[in-house]
Structure 1
Amino acid sequence: MLNRLFFILFFLGCYNYNKSENLRIVSLVPSATEIIYLLNADSFLVGITNQDNYSKFKVGDMLNPDYEKIIKLKPSLVILTIPLQKKVLEEISKFNIDTLIISPQSIDDIFKDMLRIGKLLNKERRALFLIDSLKGVLNEIKSNSRKLENNKVFYEIWDNPLWTAGNKTFINDALKILNLKNIFDDREGYFIVSEEEVIKRNPDIIIVAHSNVKISDIKNRKFWQNINAVKNNKIIIVDETTFNKPSPNLIKAIKFLNSQLY
């Protein structure tokens, strides 16, 4: 009986291992691609997007990939994010290719995605190690970050139109860790706001997460001279490739921002 049980467990273990060994992954989500590289599992990747900074075969833009290129790669799995890639999912579904959907809305979701992908690729132990290390960094940041008296912040994702992040986003999570109060946390997700709304809510700090403007451009916006952040020169430009991507490198971005606040 014990021998039979051992054989079954051994067989199942081998089956799961071989299944992951045969995976051919096209990642259409840069944050997932980043996770796979951090797990030292990039050998499973056969295709990535133009938004990725890795030397793998590119299948086009994450919102408008080249489906012919994807099919030629014969992937067994395509990684997508919803709702951003809803139309892409509809197209991929026509080719009977398995998909893995990730939709991180918080930092905790990023860790969950790391573990899901780690389990899929037989890298669970490394995923758990990385998660534990990153949580340690976050705890250190929390314990060292002071609560600013004037902590209302406007987070600018794009300038024309003016995009920002509200509640139930990983960006809002990051701001909370730094004891910052998002002026638009009364709304959910990502959305367009007017300049008048920003002026009315009068942020103490403006964080610009794109490279389309300079600090001088922010200061020269009409009527923005009355905003506390502009008057007190509290405008911080950050790297959009790390701050606007729900990946493990967001933790490094949070640490950097913490160093710029004081």
Structure 2
Amino acid sequence: MLYIDQLGREIRLTKQPKRIISLVPSQTELLVDLGLSDRIVGVTKFCVHPDTIRKERSVVGGTKNVHLDKIKELQPDIILCNKEENTKEIVEELQKTYPVYVSDISTIEESLELIGQYGEIFEKVNQARALISEIRSELHSFLEFTKDKPRKKVAYFIWRKPWMLAGNGTFIDHLLTTNGFVNIYGHMNRYPEISEKELENLKDLDLILLSSEPFPFSENHINEIKILRPDAEVILVDGEFFSWYGSRLSKAFTYFKTLH
């Protein structure tokens, strides 16, 4: 069986994968929601949904470093990676021995494409179609809800000291746009850094969003930002809804409505 992953790489499988290692937290959640929990043999320490998965399956490391000996012991039929979350070196090393599927997602459509491909690879086509349909329905409802909302100019922070934000080419930026927000760093690539002075001098900024991940912003950081920008509204947001693609999208749009 021949499949093409989202980097255009060929993935050849001699049998339907029964032993899966997922090195991407959001894709681990997706596998479970497609009814594939019993086939997962390995996950990362960051795979927190469902919250029992790390106790029930072997933890093979993080997203940027893995224990090759643990992976070898698990004898996977396929390993699931992501271009942004896992390093090129990890993928190159693993593909010497195992089939490795690499996702590359910066839009909702690419996320839905991944769900459909997983449905085919793991013979969960009906479950994948149902999930895709649910997400499309939720998205349509959300776009109707936001169509007359004001287009606020926002900055989405993912890290503190150095201060880092979400720029273009990211899934976060795509979801900000889907929300009807104007990302004032949408002209900059990926995850730009800015100084506190730059933050103070930003023009026409309505709303600052502080993400819960990867840096765990808290109420104390709202006060810190307000000192620099007393004119802007500052709120904490659930980073998983802005950066986890896959089945989490089925819940994301209900959450996004609370931000408007």
**Aligned counterpart, 1:38:** 33
- Aligned twin of 2:237: 238
Deviates more, 1:25-34 or 1:142-151: 142-151
Moved more, 72-81 or 146-155: 146-155
Q: Distance in 2 between matches of 1:243 and 1:150?
A: 18
1:13-24 to 2 correspondences below 5 Å: 19-20=15-16, 22-24=17-19
Q: 1:147 to 1:187 in 2, by over 3 A?
A: farther
Give the aligned partner of residue 8 of structure 2. Answer: none
Specify the alignment match of 2:109 in structure 1.
Answer: 108
- Residue pair 2:138, 2:253 contacting (<8 A) in 1 also: no
Distance in 2 (alpha carbons) for counterparts of 1:194 and 1:106: 29
| 1:220 counterpart SS class | helix
Bigger drift between 68-77 and 185-194 goes to 185-194
Q: Could you say which residue in structure 1 is the equivalent of 2:158?
A: 157
Amino acid at match of 1:125: N
In 2: Cα distance, 1:120 partner to 1:236 partner: 40
Deviates more, 1:128-137 or 1:167-176: 167-176
User: How many angstroms apart in 2 are the aligned matches of 1:147 and 1:184?
Assistant: 23
Q: Which moved more, 1:216-225 or 1:133-142?
A: 216-225
Deviation at 1:214, TM superposition (A): 2.7
Instruction: Answer whether contact 1:166 1:172 (CA < 8 A) is retained.
Output: yes
SS of residue matched to 1:141: helix
Q: What amino acid maps onto 1:186 in structure 2?
A: H
Corresponding pairs, count: 239
Residue 217 (str. 1) matches residue 221 (str. 2): yes
2:258 is matched with which residue? 259
Contact map agreement 1:78 1:99 (CA 8 A) in 2: yes
Tell me how far apart the structure 2 counterparts of residues 82 and 213 of structure 1 sit (CA, whole Å): 25
| Contact 1:24 1:76 survives alignment (8 Å) | yes
Tell me, in whole angstroms, the C-alpha distance in 2 between the residues paired with 1:244 and 1:131: 18
Name 1:25's counterpart in structure 2: 20
Contact preservation (8 Å) 2:151, 2:180: no
Q: Which of 189-198 and 155-164 deviates more?
A: 189-198
Per-residue Cα deviation, 1:187-239 (whole angstroms, up to 9, x for no partner): 2323323333333244211111126333343333486234x32xxxx222122
1:1-262 superposed matches below 5 A: 19-20=15-16, 22-53=17-48, 54=53, 55-84=56-85, 85-94=87-96, 96-149=97-150, 151-199=152-200, 200-210=202-212, 212-221=216-225, 224-226=228-230, 228-229=231-232, 234-261=233-260
8 Å CA contact retained: 2:22, 2:40: yes
Answer 1 or 2: higher relative contact order, Cα 8 Å, separation at least 6. Answer: 2
Task: Judge conservation of contact 1:159–1:212 (CA < 8 Å) in 2.
Answer: no
- Identity over the aligned pairs, expressed in percent? 26
Q: 3-state SS of the aligned residue for 1:260?
A: coil
Letter matched to residue 113 of structure 1? L
Which TM-score applies when normalising by structure 2?
Answer: 0.83
Q: Matched residues in 1 for 2:225 and 2:144: separation?
A: 36
Residue pair 1:154, 1:198 contacting (<8 A) in 2 also: no
In 2, Cα distance between equivalents of 1:236 and 1:250: 21
The 2-side partners of 1:253 and 1:194 are apart by 31
- Closer/same/farther in 2, CA of residues 112 and 150 from structure 1, 3 Å limit: closer
Give unmatched runs, 5+ long, in structure 2.
1-12
RMSD: 2.4
Counterpart secondary structure, 1:46: strand
Counterparts of 1:212 and 1:155, CA distance in 2: 13
Higher helix share: 1
